[in-house]
Amino acid sequence: MEFISGFGGTALSYLLPFLFVLTIIVFFHELGHFLVARWCGVAVETFSVGFGPELFGRTDRHGTRWRVAAVPLGGYVKFAGDENAASVPDHDAISHMSAEERSTSFYLKPVWQRAAVVAAGPLANFILAIVIFTVLFVSFGRPITPAQVDGVQPESPAAAAGFEPGDVIVAIDGHSIEAFSDVQRVVSGSAERPLVFTVERASGTVDLTATPEFREVSDGFGNTHRVGVLGISRAANAAAVSTKTYSLPQAVAAGVQETWFIVERTGTYVGGIITGRESADQLGGPIRVAQVSGQVATLGLVALINLAAILSVSIGLINLLPVPMLDGGHLVFYGIEAVRGRPLSERSQEIGFRIGLSLVVMLMIFATFNDIRQLAGS
């Protein structure tokens, strides 16, 4: 009863930030599909944010129904010739279309146009993230704390590698380091992987090789994460913090770098799960996203918008997975069609979509189980 009442008390504080973040991400993802579809001359029947019964909506002059639905856990764009929200082709309806209707049917467009429409959703997520990061960099700059080592934990990877207080880290694996936060970002995602640190000290510049180790650490909200740790610390000193400002071109470049960092970090984590190096219990679903959204919202609107950019990249990557039902699965089908010169049979596509649905449902169940287990343990 205590867990249930506690969860009920916090659920409302998570809901609004979660809906704010998710609505932004879903809207721009579907807008990517929508705009490229219109450019390719595809008739769009429905643009929906959410699933299930319609709460409110309007129909534009092109006949597209713009709607907000009752279940705000995603969205879809339904094209002429779609059987359902998952863009499964309705072959019976297509066969009875008039010549004019066939000219605007998604499934009768050239394969490159269909691929462009499908790829536009994830691409829009990446563009959204870059735009958000760019605006934040231009508006607020970036706080920089020099990557100086003030403390070395005994019997840590840093101690074994020969780090000393006063060392300044200027590069990791040949990539330049600006701030101590850069060191933390690289190290946290590189557990059990040797890194070469270029360090400046009083006696000159030296290269130190250290292998971060896995440790469970808590963030400022009490959430536990399993990340790589080196065993160095930086003393809190407000006087040492400066703010780096960006011109618009510099901010765009930094936004692209930030987006690519998230892509790389996600790919490293997924690869670690496949190889058994990473634990899958860090995978989260809607409940954890809602929890994190509510926690980050306490830091202010800017922090919540920054979270939306991070999650937008993640949603884009998830949709590119080669799983039928997702955009990546559709792209696989179109790639096969381009190579074969003809699409897969209706039966093969149907089997693929059923397998894809099963995989997505199993992933959601697993992620939700992780979410509930984490909440119960907090």
The catalytic site residues sit at 30
Structure tokens at 56: 């409110």
Enumerate helices (H) and strands (E) in the chain, giving the number of each: 11, 12
Q: Following DSSP, what letter does each residue of 250-316 receive, concatenated?
A: HHHHHHHHHHHHHHHHHHHHHHHHHHTSS-GGG---HHHHHHHHHHHHTT-HHHHHHHHHHHHHHHH
Residue 366 burial (C-beta neighbours within 10 Å; 0-12, 13-18, 19+): middle
253/273 Cα distance (integer angstroms)? 30
Name beta bridge partners: 214. 228
172/178 Cα distance (integer angstroms)? 11
165/161 Cα distance (integer angstroms)? 13
39 C-beta neighbours (distance < 10 Å), count? 12
Contact 214, 192 (CB under 8 A): yes
Amino acid at 96: H
66/59 Cα distance (integer angstroms)? 6
Structure tokens at 27: 């809207």
